[in-house]
Chains A and B, each alone.
Chain A
């Protein structure tokens, strides 16, 4: 018989206690797997909005952490277009507005040029796309149109102005479907930000954004953008950020990630306390057994290892079950209609590794004190314990 067989049999042959402990760990790990998976899926779903437009770089004001607070001069778009390697630039002003006589507050509205690739990427389901002659016109995301009960041809109030709905589009996900698009200059006037945009979306020339040297090529264009200077030789203070990095650093995505990690930590603490309780009770229940092991010469470290290994085995079993349940949960939610593309199946090895690491940490945290306590039992007192 090997040492690990003793561990395994101690766990397996105490079915009720082991099952309850494994279930507790599994619930925690399932919640964490689902949350981390959800937060990654959220990031992916946001980045899909940009990916659909083939945006390689997003240019914002350097040092700005919140997208809406970025403020850039629209004419800079021409300077960007003139840079080598740049295929297209779409100036974008995004702000939060109230819609439908204040019935919806804080709706993101994009101001785009009628000939921008951003506008061209939208899939129209009703009406048509914005064109240059359009004035006081708006395109609504499908979700937003449903909330407002508006169709192409209807009027809708944005802030204090009346706009005609000229089209309804299908978004990449629930986020995009809850937005509206108006002509750039209309939004600038409406929000009193004439000549201002919040970002430039930059598409690089084919060949630069694919292939082995993509990173270097995109980096060179980004550096060129950040080096742009005004008439006085001063830098414009631009930050050209790769799309993926821009999404990852956005406040929303960071908040969702932070919530997922914070929940993981809470699970770790609760799970650790649960494991601590289980293993402490186990050591108490098995005081005589530990006394016997000490009596026949088992050294303290071996007792310690036995209890820690049992704790880790329970945790790993819980982790395996929890990861499977977590994946099943995300898959189930993904298929539900209310998810609307918000939840994406995203199970990179890092999520699995995080679930396993969390369980191992729980096992160690919960097993350490009982293990030390068990190891330091005096054999004669432990054998007499009732």
Chain B
């Protein structure tokens, strides 16, 4: 039987932003203003909004790539500002999928997937085996030994998704993952997200301009001018 603390941890939000603001250029440009948001385990959240609305800023703060000017981000109710190493936090709890992939050009697909694992406990052999398994899960096993330049953009994004799962993260943060893909490739990536959620129970936060992406998510958060405009169930967005 689970302990009360474990039950409480299960019920508490996985990620929480509390009254978070982020300003740039000596405080004169406010990218995010007083935003509060909770993301539960295994939730699929689409973050939408026009360009410059603060979507990416929010994602960067949730993923500990950046720190808020005001407010606090909590992971399992632990404030990120009190964590000893944000590098370690990112390595073990966050998976990133970027619009422009950011694959290392000198490494093959299977080598790129192993990159985050250097901060984990696996041996060289373990890293390789896990990377192959992840590439298998995203349908890229046959292209494992190819360099990024030898892959199509859709294939590159699949490799990026496999890399984001390298350390079994608690949450995957995707910044416009279909933004550089054609309709078919984009649809395949979204199908992949769906199947990975089913298979790994991954919590997913996706920034998107696409209504189709938002429609697949359980929840859509709309941001405008650095504030949350709406936060509701995604169907019918």
Interface of B is mostly: helix
Q: Is the interface of A mostly helix, strand, loop or mixed?
A: helix
Minimum distance in angstroms from B137 CB to a CB of chain A: 18
Taken together as a complex, chains A and B put the C-alpha atoms of A298 and B65 apart, in Å, by 12
Q: B114 near A297 (CB under 8 angstroms)?
A: no
Task: Tell me whether B102 and A297 are in contact (CB under 8 A).
Answer: no
A161 to B111, CA, bound (A): 84
Interface segment out of the listed B35-43, B116-124, B227-235: B116-124
| A383/B102 contact (C-beta < 8 A), A293-B115, A297-B119 known | yes
Does A367 make an interface contact (CB < 8 A)? no
| Interface presence of A335 (CB below 8 A) | no
Q: At the interface, yes or no: A380 with Cβ under 8 Å from chain B?
A: yes
- Distance (whole angstroms) from the CB of B75 to the closest CB of chain A: 14
B106 and A14: CB pair below 8 A? yes
| B65, A3: Cβ atoms closer than 8 Å | no
Does A294 sit within 8 A of B, measured CB to CB?
yes
| Residue A292 is within 8 A (CB to CB) of chain B in the complex | yes
Of B88-96, B184-192, B214-222, the one contacting chain A is: B88-96
Q: Is B66 an interface residue (CB 8 A)?
A: yes
Q: At the interface, yes or no: A296 with Cβ under 8 Å from chain B?
A: yes
Chain A nearest CB, measured from B107 CB (Å)? 6
Q: A342-386: which residues lie under 8 A (CB-CB) from chain B?
A: 379-380, 383
Q: Are A297 and B116 in contact (CB under 8 A)?
A: yes
- Whether B111 and A9, one on each chain, are in contact in the complex, defined by CB atoms closer than 8 angstroms, is yes
Partner of A292, one of B87, B104, B147: B104
Kindly state the separation between the CA atoms of A5 and B110 in the bound complex, as whole angstroms.
13
Q: Does the CB pair B124–A296 fall under 8 Å? A: no
Of the candidates A1, A2, A297, which one forms a contact with B91 in the assembled complex, judged by CB atoms under 8 Å apart?
A297
> A2-B124, A292-B104, A383-B98 in contact; A297/B92 too (CB < 8 A)?
yes
| A1-B124, A1-B128, A380-B65 known; A296 vs B115 contact (CB < 8 Å) | yes
A83 within 8 A of B: no
Q: Could you give, for residues 45-77 of chain A, a 1 whenever the CB lies within 8 Å of some chain B CB and a 0 otherwise?
A: 000000000000000000000000000000000
Residue in contact with B106 in the complex, picked from A13, A379, A380, CB distance below 8 Å: A13
Q: Does A289 contact B (CB under 8 A)?
A: yes
Q: Does A142 contact B (CB under 8 A)?
A: no
Q: If the complex has contacts A9-B106, A9-B111, A379-B65, are A295 and B128 also in contact, measured as CB distance less than 8 A?
A: no
Chain B, range 100-147, C-beta contacts under 8 Å to A: 102, 104-107, 110-111, 114-116, 118-119, 124, 127-128, 131, 147
A296 touches B163 (CB 8 A): yes
In the complex, chain A residues whose CB is within 8 Å of the CB of B76: none
Contact A297 B88, beta carbon cutoff 8 Å: yes
CB pair A295 B111 closer than 8 Å: no
Residue positions of B touching A, CB distance < 8 A: 60, 63, 65-66, 85, 87-92, 96, 98, 102, 104-107, 110-111, 114-116, 118-119, 124, 127-128, 131, 147, 163, 166-167
Question: 5 smallest A-B Cβ distances: which pairs?
Answer: A297-B91, A13-B106, A296-B116, A292-B102, A297-B90
The chain A residues found within 8 Å of chain B, CB to CB, are 1-3, 5-6, 9-10, 13-14, 288-289, 291-300, 302, 379-380, 383
